[in-house]
Amino acid sequence: MYVAEGGLGLEGELVGAGTMAVLRSGTRARVEARAPARIALVGGAPLDGERHLWWNFVSSSRERIERAKADWKNGRFAAVPGETEFIPLPPRRP
């Protein structure tokens, strides 16, 4: 359950905007909107394996992330709608 705006009470705990709460399979939980809120409920079968994350890229393959990084750096992605400037890749982590 991703809280995009506002906040929720989840079993008595506050879940604020920009937070994802992950519930175990089969969990029954009490969720309360404490003010106007926008949330996204995401569910389904477990993923079929490990996922890798680097900046804005997510893949089941580390090699695919490396290709995406090179494609972004070299301008091979379509422009992001509404954006007027190019956002460079962040520096490598130590």
Find all residues with CB under 8 Å of 4, minimum gap 6, and list them.
Answer: 17, 18, 38, 39, 40
Q: Average per-residue pLDDT in the chain?
A: 89
In this prediction, residue 94 carries a pLDDT of 47
- Reported as a single tens digit per residue, the pLDDT across 39-79 is 999 888 878 889 999 998 999 999 999 999 999 999 999 98
Q: What is the pTM of this model?
A: 0.56
Dist CA 17 CA 2 (whole Å): 8
Percentage of the chain exceeding pLDDT 90: 55
Please state the domain extents for the chain. Answer: 2-40, 47-94
In this prediction, residue 26 carries a pLDDT of 84
